[in-house]
Amino acid sequence: MTGYTFAYLDEQTKRMIRRALLKAVAIPGYQVPFSSREMPMPYGWGTGGVQVTAACLTPEDRLKVIDQGADDTTNAVSIRSFFRKVAGVATTEATAEATIIQTRHRIPETPLAEGQILVFQVPIPEPLRFLEPRETETRKMHALADYGLMHVRLYEDIARHGAITRAYAYPVQVEGRYVMDPSPIPKFDNPKLHRSPALMLFGAGREQRIYALPPYTEVRSLDFEDYPFEPTKAGHACALCGDDASYLDEVIVDDAGGRMFVCSDTDHCRSRRAAGRRGTMAAPFEDAAA
C-alpha cells in the first residue's frame, strides 16, 4: 500500500503511543491518557488495540488477530488484513507461533509464553464507569485508591442475588493498587491474567486510554472472603473436540432451539481435532481430509 508509512501510523503518532505504553508498563493497571488518532475504522471496532499493535509491530513479527476467541470472525479478519496491507507482517492462527496477538473479548486457551504480547481491544477502560459516569470523579477515586464504591456495589449484588452477577469485564486489582477493567473477557479468563508470562497491553481508542500488565504481575479478581471469585463456563464439553475445560460458544442448530456448545478459541479446537480429539458432533477433521 503506497502513501502510508510502515504500520499505517505516522512516526510522531507512534512515538506518542510508545511513550504512553512505557508509562503504562511502569505503572501497572493505571490508565495512561493518550491522544488517540482517528483510525480508518470505527471507534468501537478496536481502534485502541489497532493503534497499540501498530506502535509495537516490527517487520519480523507474526501477528494473530482474534475476536471472541476466533480467527475467522469478520472483525478479526478485517483487522488482520489491515495489518497485512499496511505493515506487510506475517500472520498466523496458531497461538504458540504468534509474537503479537490482538484480541477482542478472549484470552487464548493455549498458555502464553514469555516474549509474547497480548493486545486487548477495550471499549470502556474505566472499571468504575458504571458506578460513577464522571471521569473527573473516577480519576480522584483512583488517585486515592478509594474503591469502596466498587466493593459496596459487588456486595449489594451478593445481597440481592446471592452471587456477584458480573459475568464479563470482571474487575481486577493489580499488585494491590489499581483496580482495572480487564476488557470484556468472560470472567472465566480472569485467572489467565494473574502472573502471565506474556506482556498484556490494553488500548481504548475512543476513550483515549492505554494500560498494561507486565509479565508476572499480581492480578486479583475482586471478591470477598465468604464469596470467593469463581471463574465459570457452560457446563458442557465442546461438541467438536470434546474439551470440557475450554470456554464455549453457544450455537443454535435447529428450528426447535436445539443447541450445541463449541470452543470459542478456534485455534485451540482445531489443534485438538488435528490431534485426533473428537466431540459428540464432530465431522471428520477437515484438514486431515484435505
Any idea which residue has 465468604 for its cell?
226
Query: Is 242 an interacting residue with respect to other proteins (CB under 8 A)?
Result: no
d(CA 125, CA 230): 22
CA neighbor of 196 nearest in space, from 108, 112, 95: 112
Position among 53, 102, 182, 187 found at the interface with other proteins (CB under 8 A) = 187
CB of 189 to other proteins, least distance (A): 9
56 is catalytic: no
Binding mask 204-223 for other proteins (x = CB under 8 A): --x-x---xxxxxxx-----
Within 5-24, which residues bind other proteins (CB under 8 A)? 5-7, 10-16, 18-24
> b/e map of 55-73 (b: 16 or more CB within 10 Å)?
bbbeeebebbbbbbbbbeb
* 94, 249, 277, 278: residue in contact with other proteins (rule CB under 8 A): 249
Residues paired with residue 104 on neighbouring β-strands, in sequence order: 67
Interface pick for other proteins out of 2, 159, 162, 255 (rule CB under 8 A): 162
26-85 residues near other proteins, rule: CB under 8 A = 26-28, 30, 32-40, 42-45, 47, 55-60, 67-69, 72-78, 81
C-beta of residue 179 within 8 angstroms of C-beta of residue 127: yes
User: What is the closest distance, in whole angstroms, from the C-beta atom of residue 53 to other proteins in the complex?
Assistant: 11
Q: Residues 118 to 157: which contact other proteins by CB under 8 A?
A: 123, 134-136, 139-140, 142-144
CA distance 129 to 132: 5
Roughly how many angstroms between the first and final C-alpha of the chain, as a whole number?
33
Which residue out of 48, 269, 276, 279 is catalytically annotated? 269
Task: State the catalytic residue, choosing from 29, 49, 69, 205.
Answer: 29
- Window 250 to 279, contacts with other proteins (CB under 8 A): 250-251, 253, 260, 262, 264, 266
Task: State which residue, 33 or 148, has the beta carbon closest to other proteins.
Answer: 33
CB of 96 to other proteins, least distance (A): 19
Residue 190 near residue 221, CB atoms below 8 Å: yes
Nearer to other proteins, 44 or 111 (CB): 44
List CB contacts of 42: < 8 A, sequence separation 6 or more: none
Please say whether the beta carbons of 212 and 181 come within 8 A: no
Q: Which residues lie below 8 Å from residue 60, measured CB to CB, with a gap of 6+?
A: 99
Which of 113, 152, 274, 281 binds other proteins (CB under 8 A)? It is: 281
Residues with active-site annotation? 29, 238, 241, 263, 269
